Copies of this chain bind each other. A is one copy, B any other.
Amino acid sequence: MEEVTLQKMREHIGWESGDGILAPGGSISNLYAAMVARYNRFPEVKMRGMRAVPELAMFTSKDAHYSVKKSAAILGMGMDSVYLVDTDNRGKMLPEHLEQLIGLARSRGQEPFFVSATGGTTVLGAFDRWTRSRTCASGTGSGSTWTRPGRGGVLLSQRHRHLLAGVQRADSVTWNPHKLMGVTLQCSVILLPERHIGLLQGCNGMQADYLFQQDKQYDVSYDTGDKSIQCGRRNDIFKLWLSWRAKGDEGYGEQVDYLIDLANYLCQQLKKRPGYEMVMEKPDFVNVCFWYVPEKFRSMKPGPERDSVINELVKRDFPCGRWPQSEGADDGEWHHNGGLPTPRQPAELLPHDRVSNPAATEADIDFLLDCIEKYSAEIFDDQPDEAGLGGGGGPAQ
């Protein structure tokens, strides 16, 4: 079941065959990616450790998931070995800066061995320009280059799979079906192309023959335990296999399209309704980042000065990060009444929302925005007019 499903995923990437294994989450998948990259370049590291190899350098977008840095800490390379590449105004890694950092690492005597190009960053949902980054990295003679599309489900959408164009040229791909594909935690995969078959086994195999006997009644290639950094594992593939059987490629493609359509609906609403400012005019993906500016501040010129006034008021009144108490309501009212299905970041006034629940509808989006406007009015109508902006009423406390 695992073999069939992983093969299907590899085919969607564009690989005829290859290798792979399930991991307990995307962070551990990224750990695998860095670890097999290191082993591929310097197999002696397995027996002799980091002291036997040159000083290494890793590269990823500054907007990438923190697990890339965490991997460096775990693997004994140290977080200092991770170079964070600047991003453009759409959150995509700047290939020129990547090239520059690779050169910098080399000039310090470090060995660049791993580039993690993100597919769907956490906040902006950015997909790094893989092909250009790869070309720039190759230009510097960087050895291995690897990618990490956290949201591999986008490959199942004919309309949107271009976001991961060129992904088949990667040396490894991590894919988290617990995200876009809606499989429950944990369900994360690390995949390798045909040329890297055997790498997982070489890197992680311990030949613990008291556990992994080779004298089975079946084809022992189905025994994948020795390729894992775990011993016993949950059967995480089953739920993915089952939902894929139920939905099919087409059903999953439609699900991805629907989520992106819903994110587009959110964008349209944000443009229609007063007070919203978008971080990016047209997001690529399901992440929609925006600010809501309460009515009384809208007369101020947009910019750092206005933002700092809003932030100061928010910080002053919610010093412990608590939302205000309405009469008769407990602290959690905003959540308990089904209010805000969005990460609460009061210091920056709700800057991002991610559409990832395929059961959500346009009505849910409307409800979300209604809530933002209603509670914002309740909060700021009660503010004394310290900023001299008009509006406001009773005492702050």
Contacts and interface: CB of A to CB of B under 8 A. Distances in A.
Nearest to A55: B51
B231 A65 contact: yes
A215 B25 contact: no
B321 A215 contact: yes
Interface string A319-333: 011110000000110
Contact of A232 (B47, B48, B178, B229): B178
B24 A186 contact: yes
A23 B95 CA distance: 37
A78 B214 contact: no
B215 A70 contact: no
Given A66-B208, A122-B210, A346-B215, A229 B28 contact: yes
A233 interface: yes
Contact of A122 (B79, B178, B211): B211
A111 to B, nearest CB: 12
A338 to B, nearest CB: 15
A368 interface: no
A177 to B, nearest CB: 12
A217 B318 CA distance: 10
Given A25-B232, A74-B75, A231-B67, A216 B321 contact: yes
A1 interface: no
B46 A230 contact: no
12 contacts: A24-B186, A27-B229, A28-B229, A48-B78, A49-B77, A50-B50, A66-B231, A70-B204, A178-B232, A215-B318, A215-B346, A217-B322
